[in-house]
Structure 1
Amino acid sequence: MDAYTVDLLNRRHDRFTLWIPASEGLPAPKLVLGTHDASNNSFNELVRLSMTKPADKTDLWEVDPKAITPPLADGVYRYWFEIVDTSPEKLGTMLVTDPLAFTVDYTLTQGSGEQLQPATVIKYRDGKLWPCDMDGTEPSRPPVPDQASLPSNNHLVIYELPASWSKVGNDGRGVDVDVGGFADVKALFDRNTRSAKWASIHGPVLAELGINALELLPPADAKNKAEWGYATAHYFAPDSDLGSASELVSLVETIQAQNIRLVTDVVMAFGHDPYGYIAFEQFHLRPNDEKSNPDSYQSHATGVLRDGYGGQSWRYAQQTQTYDPESGGVDKVSPSWSFHRAHLARWMADFGVGGLRLDSINNVGSWDFVRSYKERAWELYNARYGSAADPSKFLVIGEELSMPVSMIHQGVVDALWNEPWQGRLRALLLGESSEGDDFEWTVRKVADTTLVTFDGASFTDGAQAINYITSHDIEGYRKERLYNFLSSNGVSDVQKRAKLAFALLLTSVGIPMIFAGEEFADQMDRSKDMSKKQSDPVNYDRKNDGGWRAALFEYVANLVKFRTKCPALGEDDTNFFHVDQGGKIMAWSRGETGDGKMPVVVVANFMDQNTEGEQYVIPNWPGQEQDGWREVSQQRDVPTKWVGKEPLMAWEVKVYTRWRE
C-alpha cells in the first residue's frame, strides 16, 4: 500500500484503528469482525473484541489483526465498531461504520434510516490490512499525469455531471434502469467502453464535446440510494451506487489520457457520518441548541444559523488535546479539521484529483478552516510535481451564492461559482436588462465579469469566476434547464437562443461550466418541482436526434474546442468597441490587440430583427485590414473586404479570429 501524508491512514495498514478524541472515561469500543456469506446474504461474526490504546497515542483505539484468535486467514472481511452513542439522542450501544472506511457494503447493514450503518470492507493479506473493493480487488493508483499536457485554469471548460442518473426508463416496475456509475461515465469518453446501464449512450459523447475538466457531483459515499445528493456519510469511500474504487481509478486513467482534469465536489458544512454517534461533541453541533456558540452561525451572513439539511453541522471552532491524525503525535487539534484534511489526502493520492469544488462554504461557518483545507490541497498538489509544480494547473473553487468575492482576495479559495452571471445571461436571452443595469451594461458584465463588484470586491482574473448557463441548482426563478426556461418564456426557436447562450459562455471572461445535457438542450421530463435540485435523468439519446439538437451539439463542441485552445480566450483583456441600438447590437474583442496580436472578436445581435441591407458596418475593428480572418462558429474564412461588414441575423453571435491552431 502506498503511503499517505496522514499518519492515521498509514497506521490502518497494520491494525484496525478508531480515533475518538476526548475518549477518556468512555467504554472501550469493540471491533466486530466477520465474513459475508453471499449465499444467504448474512454476516458470520468471527470476533467481538475490545480495542486498546497504545501507550503513546492519546484517544487512538486499535486492534492488531495478527493478535486475533483463531488466526485470520487471508481473505476479505466485513466489520463494524461497537460504541456507546454520544449523540443527543443517546441511542445506547450500537454498531457503526468505520469513519475512515475506504469501501462500504450496503448488503450488510446495521440500523435503519439515518442510523443506517453499512459494513466496512477490508482485505487481510500477508499479516497486513489492505483497502479493497467488494470483491477483494485491491485498487491501484492512477499514474501522475504529465503536467505539461494538462489544461491551465484559464483554458478550462468544466462539465458538471451527477453520475447517478442518466435517462428516463424503467424495468416495468417503476425502477430506473439507466442509473449510471463510474464505468458508465467512462463510456462518455471511451469508444471502446460499453455502458452497462446508460442505454442512451451511443459513443464517447464527452470526448466529442471536447471538455477538459470533469466535475463529479459528490463522488464520496452517501446513504441515499439510486440518486445523487449532498448527504455525504462516508467521506473516504467512493459512492457505492457509482461503483468501486477500481472503477473510479479506471475512469480517471481514461480522462487523464485525454488531458482532462478530475474535479470533485466536497460537502463539509454538514455530514451524515458515523462520528455523529461516536464522538458527537467533538465533531458535530446542532446550531439551534448552541445559539451562544459562534460556530453555530454562517460566515458572511450575520445572525444566520448554519443549516444541516437533515445532517449534522460540523464543529470547527473547538480544539482538543489529542492524537494528531496527520503528524502522529499528540497536540491540540480541531477534530473536524483533521478529519477533512485526511480524506482530502486520500482523494488526492488515490484518484488524482486535479481540482476541488467546495459546497456551501458560508454554511461551513469557518473561513479559517476553508483556507486551511485549500492550502492543504495545494500542498498535496505541489508535492505531486515537486519544484516544477505549475500553479495554473490546479484550482479550489467555492460555492456560495451570496458571492463573497473577498474570500478570493483573502486566500480562502481560488475561485467562486458566479451565479449572478447566470441571471444576467438569461435576461439577455429574453432581450432584458438585469440587476438595475441598462441593456448595454448587462452585456458588458456578461462578457467581462471583472466589471462587476460584489460586496466591495471584484474578480481580478478570469480563472476566479465559474460561469454557467445552468447548474444542478434548478430551484428558484429562472434556474431550470435552458430548454424549459426558453420554452416557458415563449421562445419558439430554442436552438437559436441556445447557440447565443453558448457563444457568450464560451467567449466571456471566466471559466465556463456546462451542466450535463445542456450541450444539446436536454429537457426536463420528470422533474417539475422547482423546489428541488436537478434529479431528472439526462437523455443522451436526444443528442443523436439527427435534427436541431444534434446541430446544437456540434455548434457547442466546435466552440468548446476553440475555448480550450485559443490563446486570446485565456486572457482577460476585453475591449468594447461598438454599441448600437442601445446595446442590442454590440462588438468587443478578447485578448490583446496591436501589432502581431490575434484577438477574438465577438459580434452579437440581441434583437428579433436581422440587420438591414447586405452589409452591417462595424467601425474600429482591430486588425481589420489584415488577412486570415475566419468566423469560428460557422467554421468559414472571411474575405478581407467583408471583415467588420457582415450582416447579422436575429439573435445571432458571430465569433471571429485570425488565430489558427
Structure 2
Amino acid sequence: MAAATLGDHDVYLFREGTHARLYDKLGGRLDGDGARFAVWAPNAAEVSVIGDWNGWDRSIDFLHLRPDSSGIWEGRVPAARHGQAYKFHIVSRHGGYRVDKADPYALVSELPPATASRLWSLDHDWQDAEWMATRAAKNALDAPVSIYELHLGSWRRPDPTAPTPFYNYRELAHLVADHVSELGFTHVELMPVTEHPFYGSWGYQTTGYFAPTARYGTPQDFMYFVDHLHQRGIGVILDWVPSHFPTDEHGLQYFDGTHLYEHADPRQGFHPEWNSSIFNYGRNEVRSFLLSSAMFWLDQYHLDGLRVDAVASMLYLDYARKAGEWVPNDNGGRENFEAITFLRTLNEAVYREHPDTMSVAEESTAWPQVSRPTSAGGLGFGMKWNMGWMHDTLAFFKLDPIHRKYHHGQLTFSLVYAFHENFVLPLSHDEVVYGKGSLINKMPGDTWQQFANLRALYGYMWTHPGKKLLFMGGEFGQRREWTHEGQLEWFVTQQPEHGGLMRYVRDLNRLLREHPALYEVDFSHEGFEWAVSDDAGASVLAFLRKPKGRGATLLVVCNLTPLPRQRYRIGVPLPGHWREVLNSDAADYGGSGWGNLGGVDAQTIPWHGRPCSVSLTLPPLSTLVLQLDAHGPRETD
C-alpha cells in the first residue's frame, strides 16, 4: 500500500470522527524509493522515526508537526525500505516523558515478543472475484449460515520437530478449507488475528489494529488464506475488538505522554476485568481510528464480516464495576452515549460501503434493538449472539434427564424472545475454557448417553430459529477442555463415538443447506410454530419450521430423556407422508437405531388443534426431523 497525501479534507473528517479510511493516510507507508510517515501525537514536543535504516538513532529522521492544529506529525524518509522495522520515538510536552511506540497504523509487526512495526506493501493478486460478486446472497439474513469458530494457533499444529510451532496462513488455508468443506460449514470465524503481544490473550489484547499477527506469516499469507477459502465457497469473519486494548508500553496506552486513546480517569479508562485500557469513544480522532480499522479488514482483506467483541462492556459505564467505581453519564445513567454513537456510526459505515457483508454483536444483555437499523433507533448490527439461549440450553442439558421435567421452560423460553433480534446461536470458545469443561463433558450419563445428549443438543440447535456457530473441537466431541497451547485432539476422530458425531454435524449442515425452512425465516415468527411445547413430564418438545413460500415444511421432535417413546402422537397441519430426513439416534452416528422406518403417513386424526396427526417412535435422547413430502399449499396463519 503506497502512501497517500493527507489533505485538509482528511484532517476535517479525522477530527470530526467520521474518517473511515485513515489507513492509507497515517502510519508508515512505502513511497517510491523511501517511505512516508504520519502519526497522531498532539501532545508531543518532538517525534522522530527510528528503524533499521538509521541504526535506531533518535536524532536523524524527525517528523514535522502539521500547521493545522490536527496534532499530526509527518515526514518522508528516503532511506527506509520494505520489510524494515521501525518505531516512533516520542518526546512529550509533559514532564519530558520519552517513549518508543509501535505504529498504531502498522500493516505488519515484528514476530512477537519483538514489538516494532515493519514497512510493508499489501500487493496481492486476488482470485476470488466469483465469490465477491455473489457473496451478498451467502451473507444475507435469509441465507443458510453455519459458522465454524477457530483459533488458528491451536486448531492444528505441525510436528513438534518442525522449525516453528505454528502452521503458516497458507498451510492453514488448505487444511481449514478441507475440514470446513467436508463438514459443510458456510463460514469460519477467526478469533482475533490482529497483532497481539501476549499469545495467551487469544488475540483479544490487540496492539496491531491493521496488522495480521506475524506468528502465522505475512499480510500476503493471510490474504492467501482468505482468498483460498473464498475460492472454496467459504466466508471469513474476523473477531474484532474495539472495546479495550492492552497497557503494553509500545502500544496505544499513554501514547504521547497523555491518555490519548483512553480516558485519563481510571473509572472510565481502565477495565478491571481484563486489566486493559478502554477507548475514549468521545474523542473524535479515536472513533476515526477504530472506524478505519474496521473498514481496513473489509476493504483490503476481503473479509465477509466482523464479529464485534464485548459490546456490552462498551454500552454500560458500570460494566464489571461496583458502586463508586464508575462515572455516570450527563443524565446520571449508566449508558455510554459516546460508545452508542460510535457503534451506530460503525455499522452505518460497514453496511454503506460493504452491504454484502455482516456485522455481528457479542452483546450479553437485554439492550434493545442491537440488530435493528439505526434509522429505527437501533445500534445497526446485522445480527447478535444469543447468549441467553446459550446459557439456558447448556444449563438444561447439563441436568440429569430425571430432573429435566422441572426445567422444561429453559428450552421453550428462548422462543418468547427469539424474534426480538436477528440472533446467532453460539456454542463458542467461552463455553469450553476456564474450568467449564468441554461440551461433551458437560453432558450427563455414561459415554453413550453423553454423545446422545450432545447429538440431541446439536439437532435442537440446528433446527432452532437463528444462525449457528460452533467452536472447533465441538464437531467431534473433544473431551479435553480447550487450551491455546497445543492442538485439538484430532486422534479421537478415529474412535467410533467421535467419528459418528462428526458425521452427524456434517449431515446437520447438509440438512441446513438443503431445506429453506431452516434458514429463510430465521428472524420472524412466520417461520416457526410450536407443535408440542408443554410436555414437560416427558421432556418432549416439537415444532414446525416453515419456508418463505412453497416448499417443504419440517417437523422437529426432541425427546430429551433416555426412555424411547412409541406411538407418540403429534398434530400436524397437512396430510401426506412425513419422511424422516434426520435421526440423531441413527447407528451411523453412534446411536441405538430407533426410528420410524424412514417416515410415517399423517392420519386424519385431529390432535393439538390440528386437522391431522402422526404417530411416532421417539428414540432415546434424540432429535428427529421429518419433511412433509406430499402436501398442498403451505398453511397460512
Correspondence for 1:152 among 140, 144, 150: 140
2:623 to 648, 653, 656: 653
Partner of 1:267: 241
Question: For residue 255 of structure 2, what is the aligned residue in structure 1?
Answer: 278
The CA RMSD measured in Å over matched residues stands at 3.7
Q: Is the 8 A contact 1:85 1:278 kept in 2?
A: no
Distance 1:267 1:596, change over 3 A: closer
Q: 1:274 to 1:574 in 2, by over 3 A?
A: same
Q: Is the 8 A contact 1:221 1:235 kept in 2?
A: yes
Q: Within the alignment, does 1:558 sit opposite 2:507 as a pair?
A: yes
Structure 1 stretches lacking a partner, 5+ long: 37-42, 110-117, 124-130, 133-137, 191-203, 297-304, 320-333, 453-457, 528-533
Assess if the C-alpha contact under 8 Å between 1:160 and 1:216 holds in 2: yes
Question: What SS does the aligned partner of 2:511 have?
Answer: helix
Deviation at 1:310, TM superposition (A): 2.8
* 1:460 aligned residue: 420
Q: Whole-Å Cα distance in 1 between the matches of residues 492 and 404 of structure 2?
A: 37
Describe the superposition over 1:545-566 as per-residue Cα deviations: whole angstroms up to 9, x where unpaired: 1511111101111111222342
Pairwise CA distance, 1:372: 3.3
User: Which AA in structure 1 matches 2:389?
Assistant: W
Measure, in 1, the Cα distance between the counterparts of 2:314 and 2:554: 40
**CA contact 1:585–1:604 (8 Å) conserved in 2:** yes
In the other structure, the counterpart of 1:590 is: 545
For the 8 Å contact 1:470–1:482, the answer to whether it is kept is: no
Contact kept? 2:48, 2:90, Cα under 8 Å: yes
Name the structure 1 match of 2:210: 236
Residue from 89, 97, 104 that aligns with 1:82: 89
CA–CA separation in structure 2 for the residues paired with 1:316 and 1:424: 33
The answer to whether the 8 A contact 1:33-1:47 is kept is no
SS of the aligned residue for 2:274 comes to coil
Name the CA distance, whole Å, in 1 between partners of 2:382 and 2:498: 35
The equivalent of 1:404 in structure 2 is 367
Q: 8 Å contact 2:568–2:615 — kept in the other structure?
A: yes
Residue 516 of structure 1 aligns with an amino acid whose one-letter code is: M
Amino acid at match of 1:419: M
The match for 1:62 is 74
Partners of 1:542 and 1:177 in 2: CA distance: 25
The Cα offsets for residues 465-494 of structure 1, whole Å up to 9 and x where unpaired, read as 2213343344578x431122126x666532
CA contact under 8 A between 2:108 and 2:118: conserved in structure 1? yes
* Contact kept in structure 2, 1:6 and 1:342, CA below 8 Å: yes
1:205, distance to aligned residue in structure 2 (A)? 1.4
- Aligned residue runs from structure 1 range 436-447, under 5 A: 438-445=406-413
Aligned residue in 1 for 2:220:
246
Would the aligned equivalents of 2:113 and 2:197 in 1 still touch at CA under 8 Å?
A: no
Counterpart position of 1:340: 290
Partner of 2:64: 52
Following superposition, the deviation at residue 415 of structure 1 comes to 2.8
| 2:557 counterpart letter in structure 1 | V
Amino acid at match of 2:496: G
Show the counterpart of 1:417: 385
Which residue, 51, 63, 69 being the options, matches 1:33?
Answer: 51
1:348 positional shift:
1.0
SS at match of 1:22: coil
> 1:188 — aligned with what?
175
**1:353-409 residue CA offsets vs partner (Å, 9 max, x unmatched):** 21211111232254543553454355345434xxxx5xxx53322223334244345
User: Does the C-alpha gap of structure 1 residues 606 and 250 become closer, same or farther in structure 2, counting only changes over 3 Å?
Assistant: same
Task: Select the residue among 590, 593, 611 that pairs with 2:565.
Answer: 611
Q: Which residue of 1 aligns with 2:190?
A: 216
Is the alpha carbon distance of 1:401 and 1:59 closer, same or farther for their aligned partners in structure 2, counting shifts above 3 Å?
A: same
> In the aligned structure 2, how far is the partner of 1:83 from the partner of 1:603?
65
Q: Does the 8 A contact of 2:401 with 2:560 survive in 1? A: no
Q: What is aligned with 2:601?
A: 640
**In structure 2, how many angstroms separate the alpha carbons of the residues matched to 1:140 and 1:308?**
42
* 1:360 counterpart residue number: 310
Aligned to 2:450: 494
Does 2:14 match 1:9? Answer: no
Q: Which amino acid aligns with 2:362?
A: E
More displaced stretch, 26-35 vs 641-650? 641-650
Change (3 A) 1:86 1:284: farther
| 1:471 maps to which of 429, 446, 455 | 429
**Is contact 1:139–1:245 with CA below 8 Å preserved after alignment?**
no
Does the CA contact (< 8 Å) of 2:559 and 2:621 recur in 1? Answer: yes
CA distance in structure 2 between the aligned counterparts of 1:414 and 1:436, rounded to whole angstroms = 34
**Distance in 2, Cα, partners of 1:340 & 1:17:** 19
8 Å CA contact 2:281–2:338 kept in 1: the answer is no
Q: Would the aligned equivalents of 1:213 and 1:263 in 2 still touch at CA under 8 Å?
A: yes
Instruction: Tell whether 2:301 aligns with 1:351.
Output: yes
CA distance in 2, matches of 1:622, 1:122: 65
Change (3 A) 1:148 1:421: closer
Preserved CA contact (<8 Å) 1:77 1:122 = yes
Say if 1:566 and 1:659, in contact at 8 Å, map to a contact too: no
- 8 Å contact kept, 1:166–1:178: no
User: Larger deviation: 419-428 or 259-268?
Assistant: 419-428
Q: 1: distance between equivalents of 2:22 and 2:350?
A: 15
Task: Give the percent of matched residue pairs that are identical in Structure 1 and Structure 2.
Answer: 15
Letter in 1 for 2:118: V
C-alpha distance in 1 between matches for 2:337 and 2:405: 32
CA distance in 2, matches of 1:108, 1:45: 22
Contact 1:249 1:351 in 2 (8 A): yes
Offset of residue 178 of structure 1: 5.8
- CA deviations on 1:538-587 (whole Å, 9 max, x unpaired) are 223322x1511111101111111222342111224322223546351222
Residue pair 1:161, 1:217 contacting (<8 A) in 2 also: yes
1:574 to 2:513 alignment: no
Q: Which amino acid aligns with 1:486?
A: M
Whether contact under 8 Å (1:219, 1:239) holds in the other structure is yes
CA distance in 2, matches of 1:459, 1:504: 17
**Match for 1:157: what amino acid?**
S
Q: In the alignment, residue 653 of structure 1 is paired with which amino acid?
A: T
1:120 maps to which residue?
A: 117
Quote the offset at 1:341 in angstroms.
0.8
The residue number in structure 2 matching 1:197 is none
Please state if 1:307 is matched with 2:314.
no
How far apart are residue 215 of structure 1 and its match?
0.7
The count of residues paired between Structure 1 and Structure 2 equals: 551
If the length of structure 2 is used for normalisation, what is the TM-score? 0.76
Residue 483 of structure 1, aligned match among 433, 440, 449: 440
